[in-house]
């Protein structure tokens, strides 16, 4: 009974704290490659911002997985993760160099209500040494989500942060790792 | 004997000249520190910064910034000054309830002295600036490349990453490192 009271008190305190925030790292992995359709990605909203007059190449990922790497209170149940990145090859900083990349990750839980949308903009740079991967350096936001969190129930969490990652062009298997380290205020 | 000495000296001079002109590729570093102007109402009109994919942009200038070295690292540009023009694409910001990250497209026009010689080159940059996260400063992450136009003078070729921050007083501090041939 005493334990229950203590747990309840913690829960009430947590709910009452307006400054409570989570620092979470969302990591998506998968096999990224050029989509079969030409031009920028149009299936998700943010990648479609790649300028229409430029040569934008759409990358999509297979065998994707989204999880939280920081071991916080957010857990991501099994679900479907869609990844789309439009890379603007017209506006590279140099040749070779770094291209603007407009990306979005959309996750929806299998058989449940959890969902998340991550938008990011990053500079996708060619490898800086032989055998090294291409790198993403940028930032983004968890623009929309619904997660069931212990003591809180189902809540809508948004947040923003840095987005970094690597991509081994042409490699089989998990050739993409992209992480969004975000601060998420809990309402 | 005289001929032998003259020949030896000539060979030495030739080798020295070759060494002075030797082109090497290395991971090189630079810093750029300056003070940002208040954002103006539209995109910058300078080179690579003259683009605004969403149509809703502002321009921030960082005039007469200081270009410096990173201790213990091979220099990217030597020491000197830079004028920066950064177009922030506010219409393409990734927005959350607590803050956002805004894409930028910029140029850094460097005028420096490298290896004892005057140097000028223009860097094209893209990346994001986010609202403050763990500190009061706004983090900056992205990439850069040395532009072919205008033609670098005593400069190099290559590209790399840029990290840094903008503090609340408007001070900008950037660190660049990349695979540069010069």
The mean pLDDT value for A23-34 works out to: 95
Whether the pLDDT of residue B7 is over 70: the answer is: no
**pLDDT value of residue B4:** 52
Residue B119: count other Cβ atoms within 10 Å of its Cβ: 21
Residues of A in contact with B105 (CB under 8 A): 91, 100
Q: What is the dihedral of CA A93, A97, B149, B80, to 10 degrees?
A: 90
**pLDDT value of residue A73:** 75
**pLDDT value of residue B2:** 57
The mean pLDDT value for A89-104 works out to: 98
Residue recorded with tokens 């031009």:
A39
Q: What do you get for the CA distance between the two ends of chain B, in Å?
A: 39
Which of these, A58, A76, A158, lies nearest to A114 by C-alpha position? A76
**pLDDT value of residue A71:** 59
Whether the pLDDT of residue B15 is over 60: the answer is: no
Residues of A in contact with B101 (CB under 8 A): 120-121, 138-141, 160-163
- Assess if residue A14 is contained within a domain: no
Residues of A in contact with B123 (CB under 8 A): 93
Over residues B65-120, the pLDDT tens digits come to 999 999 999 999 999 999 999 999 999 999 999 999 999 999 999 999 998 999 99
The mean pLDDT value for A113-139 works out to: 97
Our count of domains for chain A comes to 1
Residues of B in contact with A143 (CB under 8 A): 94-96
Structure tokens at A58: 């759409």
| Cβ–Cβ below 8 Å for B94 and A185 | no
Task: Give this complex's ipTM.
Answer: 0.89
Q: Chain A closest CA to B116's CA: distance in Å?
A: 26
Reading phi first (left if > 0) and then psi (alpha if -120 to 50, else beta), residue A8 is in: alpha
- Return d(Cα B152, Cα B78) in angstroms, integer: 14
- Return d(Cα B123, Cα B22) in angstroms, integer: 23
**pLDDT value of residue A1:** 46
Report chain A's mean pLDDT, rounded to a whole number. Answer: 88
Reading phi first (left if > 0) and then psi (alpha if -120 to 50, else beta), residue A10 is in: alpha
- Assess if residue A134 is contained within a domain: yes
Q: Is B4 helix (H, G, I), strand (E, B) or coil?
A: helix
Over residues B68-78, the pLDDT tens digits come to 999 999 999 99
- Assess if residue A4 is contained within a domain: no
Residue of chain B whose Cα is closest to the Cα of A121:
B103
Over residues B33-74, the pLDDT tens digits come to 999 999 999 999 999 999 999 999 999 999 999 999 999 999
Residue recorded with tokens 């986010």:
B130
Q: What are the C-alpha distances in Å from B92 to residues A153, B62, B177? A: 32, 22, 26
Residues of chain B in Cβ contact (below 8 Å) with chain A: 27, 48, 51, 53-54, 92, 94-101, 103, 105, 123-131, 133-134, 139, 141-148, 157-163, 178-179
Quote the percentage of chain B above a pLDDT of 70. 88
- Assess if residue A163 is contained within a domain: yes
Decide: B78 and B114 in contact? Cβ < 8 Å: yes
Structure tokens at A6: 């203590």
Chain B interface test: which of A104, A123, A131, A184 (most B C-beta within 10 Å): A123
- Assess if residue A64 is contained within a domain: yes
3 state SS for A69-122: CCCCCCCCCCEEEEEEEEEECCCCCCCCCEEEEEEEEEEEECCCCCEEEEEEEE
Which of these, B40, B67, B36, B31, lies nearest to B171 by C-alpha position? B36
Q: Chain B closest CA to A164's CA: distance in Å?
A: 9
Structure tokens at B162: 């840029």
Least confident stretch, A149-163, B91-105, B123-137: A149-163
The mean pLDDT value for A162-184 works out to: 95
Buried b (16+ CB within 10 A) or exposed e, A65-85: ebebeeeeebebeebebbbbb
pTM of the entire predicted model: 0.89
- Return d(Cα B124, Cα B126) in angstroms, integer: 7
The mean pLDDT value for A39-54 works out to: 97
Domains of chain B plus CATH, in order, are 24-181 (2.40.350)
Give the pLDDT band (50/70/90) at residue B5. low
Quote the percentage of chain A above a pLDDT of 90. 73
What is the DSSP secondary structure assignment for residue A37, as one 8-state letter?
A: S
A50's CB contacts (< 8 A; 6+ apart) are A40, A41, A56, A86, A87, A88, A100, A102, B53
Q: What are the C-alpha distances in Å from B144 to residues A108, A121, A125? A: 35, 15, 8
Whether the pLDDT of residue A83 is over 70: the answer is: yes
- Residue A72 belongs to domain spanning: 19-185
């Amino acid at each position: 009974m005493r334990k229950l009271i203590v747990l309840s008190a913690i829960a009430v305190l947590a709910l009452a704290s307006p400054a409570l925030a989570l620092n979470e790292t969302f990591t998506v992995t998968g096999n990224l490659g050029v989509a079969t359709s030409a031009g920028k990605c149009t299936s998700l909203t943010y990648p479609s911002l790649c300028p229409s007059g430029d040569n934008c190449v759409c990358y999509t990922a297979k065998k994707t997985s989204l999880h939280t790497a920081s071991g916080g209170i957010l857990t991501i149940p099994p679900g479907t993760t869609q990844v789309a990145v439009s890379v603007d090859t017209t506006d590279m900083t140099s040749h070779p160099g770094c291209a603007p990349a407009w990306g979005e990750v959309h996750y929806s839980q299998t058989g449940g209500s959890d969902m998340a949308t991550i938008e990011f903009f990053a500079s996708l740079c060619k490898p800086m040494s032989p055998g090294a991967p291409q790198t993403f350096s940028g930032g983004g936001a968890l623009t929309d989500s619904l997660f069931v969190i212990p003591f809180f129930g189902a809540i809508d969490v948004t947040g923003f942060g840095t987005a970094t990652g690597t991509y081994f062009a042409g490699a089989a298997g998990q050739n993409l790792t992209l992480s969004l380290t975000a601060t998420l205020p809990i309402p | 004997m005289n001929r032998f000495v003259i020949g030896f000296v000539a060979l030495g001079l030739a080798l020295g000249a070759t060494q002075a002109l030797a082109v090497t590729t290395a991971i090189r570093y630079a810093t750029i520190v300056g003070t940002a102007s208040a954002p103006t109402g539209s995109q910058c009109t300078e080179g690579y910064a003259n683009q605004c994919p969403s149509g809703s942009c502002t321009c921030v200038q960082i005039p007469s910034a200081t270009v410096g070295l990173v201790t213990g690292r091979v220099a990217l540009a030597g020491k000197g000054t830079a004028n920066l023009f950064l177009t922030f694409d506010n219409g393409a910001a990734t927005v959350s309830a607590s803050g956002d990250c805004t894409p930028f497209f910029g140029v850094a026009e460097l005028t420096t002295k490298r290896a004892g010689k005057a140097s000028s080159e223009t860097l094209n940059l893209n990346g994001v600036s986010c609202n403050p996260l763990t500190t009061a400063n706004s983090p900056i992450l992205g990439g850069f490349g040395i532009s072919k136009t205008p033609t670098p003078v005593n400069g190099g070729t290559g590209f790399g990453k840029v990290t840094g921050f903008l503090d609340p007083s408007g001070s900008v501090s950037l660190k660049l490192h990349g695979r540069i041939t010069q």
